[in-house]
Amino acid sequence: MKAAVIVFPGSNCDRDLAVALRAAGARVSMVWHKDTGLPPGIDLVGIPGGFSFGDYLRCGAIAARAPVMAAVRAFALGGGPVIGICNGFQILIEAGLLPGALMRNAGLRFVCRDVALRVASDDSPFTALYRRGQRITLPVAHHDGNYVADAETLARLRGEDRIALRYDGPAANPNGSCDDIAGILSANRRVLGLMPHPERAADPALGGTDGRALFAALAA
């Protein structure tokens, strides 16, 4: 598998994501936000966490309009798998590749801790090695992770089995996201946005390996 990790000014999880992908067997290219294309033969695009462009305007709003995003959008609309983690999730929403919005956390505080999650769907290239309903633990680190959407969008996400991950009940929900949503899929199931960081739980040295199966599934 050949993967491209997009790097913006303010990205701080790009190398973490590359390390996790390489550990799963991927060949990884780091792609600068001002590039206008992706490397040839790419099988996966990863958009990492961080604070692209200092989170000015709205989180991900400037990054979503970077030159490279036209190529990322075309790749995604052509069926190529794209994963956006934390700030990457925000960028995917701002780019129109996922519905809804990510607002300020309900407690108005930055949250950085491990959270309990449930795998809500195993029907995607990202979650295929998990079991539906499986409980996993991944870290979060965000200030604007409160997922909101209108009733029609939420009904569509539920009805089409496009909620990939949920926080394991209100007590585990760190940001107030509606329906305890932690990650969602696009209509073609090839784009995943999630607030938790699987790349920070993909090696025993990091304190957990519950994120490893996501990268193994992509590399399979």
The encoded tokens of residue 139 equal 């870290």
The average pLDDT across 207-217 equals 97
For residue 178, the one-letter residue type is C
State residue 116's pLDDT score.
Answer: 98
The average pLDDT across 106-115 equals 96
Phi, psi of 14 (to 5 degrees): -65, -45
State residue 220's pLDDT score.
Answer: 80
Q: What is the DSSP string of 65-119?
A: GSTHHHHHHHHHHTT--EEEETHHHHHHHHTTSS-SEEE--TTSS-EEEEEEEEE
The reply to whether 33 belongs to the active site is no
- Nearest CA-CA partner of 218 in 52, 35, 21: 21
Q: Is the dihedral of CA 196, 36, 51, 92 positive or negative?
A: negative
Q: Which of 33, 94, 142, 199 is catalytic?
A: 199
The encoded tokens of residue 113 equal 């801790």
User: Per residue in 72-95, pLDDT tens?
Assistant: 999 999 999 999 999 999 999 999
Q: What confidence category does residue 131 fall into, taking pLDDT thresholds of 50, 70 and 90?
A: very high
The average pLDDT across 29-50 equals 98
Percent of the chain whose pLDDT exceeds 70: 100
Q: Is a pLDDT exceeding 90 seen at residue 105?
A: yes
**Largest Cα span, the chain:** 45
Q: Which of 33, 94, 142, 197 is catalytic?
A: 197
State residue 72's pLDDT score.
Answer: 98
Q: Where do the domains of the chain lie, and which CATH numbers do they carry? A: 2-219 (3.40.50.880)
The average pLDDT across 182-195 equals 98
State residue 20's pLDDT score.
Answer: 98
Query: Using the 8-state DSSP alphabet, how is residue 100 labeled?
Result: S
Q: Mention every residue, 6+ apart, whose C-beta is less than 8 A from residue 3.
A: 18, 21, 26, 27, 28, 29, 42, 43, 44, 45, 46, 218
- Nearest CA-CA partner of 81 in 42, 116, 136: 42
Q: Which of 13, 33, 86, 94 is catalytic?
A: 86
User: Per residue in 2-36, pLDDT tens?
Assistant: 999 999 999 999 999 999 999 999 999 999 999 99
